[in-house]
């Protein structure tokens, strides 16, 4: 089981103690215990989270869309950025890991490296647990203290996800790197206005830099932009996997997509940044 391979990287969310595995349970020295779900993930939430995370429908839409390969250039860009530093004895953490597609691509690029995928959504954790033989799935809240030991991982990944800069700094080794994929204002621009989707703040890059200040220095920033040709079904999956899926209007969006030419051309536009802990 992959969890057994990352126990030295994890810690008890209540007391910070070491974790050991006994059958289907993780235990710490102070008696805190955490059951391993039959799907292979473990919840290391210290208490009830204020964040519900992505729903099962959103996770299923994301899996369906990513399986179609349209974001493969983004996955490869993240893997390239992660491998660029040539850090020895890599151990990978992805926060807000969703289905685990990006984590799996990185683990394929770094043979032998263990991986931890963290998400607050149990629906995501169920997918994460089977995304790769070397990936472990943990339910945790990125806005509280992560159940990861200080300076334990070589790489932290934040892909279309919120990031707690202080916590990511804490868990990264001194020689480690943070890899962040962020959408630009052109990302999915053909669908944003038509379907009233959640827009990307045009100052997002500047706000990201401000959030990293004091914790990280940027090493590089790479732009990835290309057109995707999507069927109507794929466009619906793309809308259904993102934050706009939480807002009303799903039925009208389906009608609007059905009225478009097929295939519909949609722009993928992101930046991939590498950051070193200060």
The three state secondary structure string of the chain is: CHHHHCCCCECCCCCCCCEEEECCEEEECCCCEEEECCCCCEECCCCCCCCCCCCHHHHHHHHHHHHCCCCHHHHHHHHHHHHCCCCCCCCEEEECCCCCHHHHHHHHHCCCCCEEEEECCHHHHHHHCCCCCCEEEEECCCCCCCCECCCCEEEEEEECCCCCHHHHHHHEEEEEEEEEEEECCCCCHHHHHHHCCCCCCCCHHHHHHHHHCCCEEEEEEEEEEEEEEECHHHHHHHHHCCHHHHCCCHHHHHHHHHCCCCCEEEEEEEEEEEEEEC
Residues of the chain with pLDDT under 70: 1, 198-210, 244-251
pLDDT of residue 53: 85
pLDDT of residue 102: 98
pLDDT of residue 218: 95
pLDDT of residue 202: 59
The model's pTM: 0.93
pLDDT of residue 194: 81
Residue 131 C-beta-side C-alpha neighbours within 13 Å? 34
pLDDT of residue 117: 98
Whose structure tokens read 């004895």?
A: 89
């Amino acid at each position: 089981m992959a969890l057994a391979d990352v126990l030295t990287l994890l810690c008890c969310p209540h007391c910070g103690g070491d974790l050991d595995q006994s059958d289907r349970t993780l235990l710490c020295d102070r008696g805190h215990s955490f059951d391993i779900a039959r799907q292979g993930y473990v919840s290391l939430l210290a208490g009830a989270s204020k964040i519900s995370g992505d729903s099962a429908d959103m996770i299923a839409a994301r899996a369906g869309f990513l399986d179609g390969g349209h974001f493969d250039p983004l996955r490869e860009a993240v893997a390239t950025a992660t491998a660029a530093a040539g850090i020895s004895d890599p151990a990978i953490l992805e926060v807000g890991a969703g289905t685990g597609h990006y984590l799996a691509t990185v683990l394929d690029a770094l043979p032998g490296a263990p991986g931890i995928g963290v998400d607050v959504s149990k629906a995501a954790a169920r997918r994460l647990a089977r995304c790769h033989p070397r990936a472990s799935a943990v339910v945790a809240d990125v806005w509280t203290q992560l159940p990861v030991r200080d300076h334990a991982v070589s790489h932290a990944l934040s892909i279309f996800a919120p990031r707690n800069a202080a916590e990511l700094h804490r868990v990264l080794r001194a020689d480690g790197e943070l890899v962040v994929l962020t959408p630009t204002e052109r990302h999915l621009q053909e669908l944003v206005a038509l379907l009233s989707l959640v827009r990307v703040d045009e100052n997002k890059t500047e706000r990201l830099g401000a959030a990293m200040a004091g914790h990280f220095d940027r090493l590089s920033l790479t732009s990835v932009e290309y057109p995707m040709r999507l069927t109507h079904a794929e466009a619906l999956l793309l809308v259904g996997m993102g934050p706009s899926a939480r807002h009303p209007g799903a039925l009208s969006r389906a009608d609007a997509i059905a009225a478009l030419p097929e295939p519909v051309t949609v722009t993928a536009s992101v930046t991939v940044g590498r950051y070193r802990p200060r």
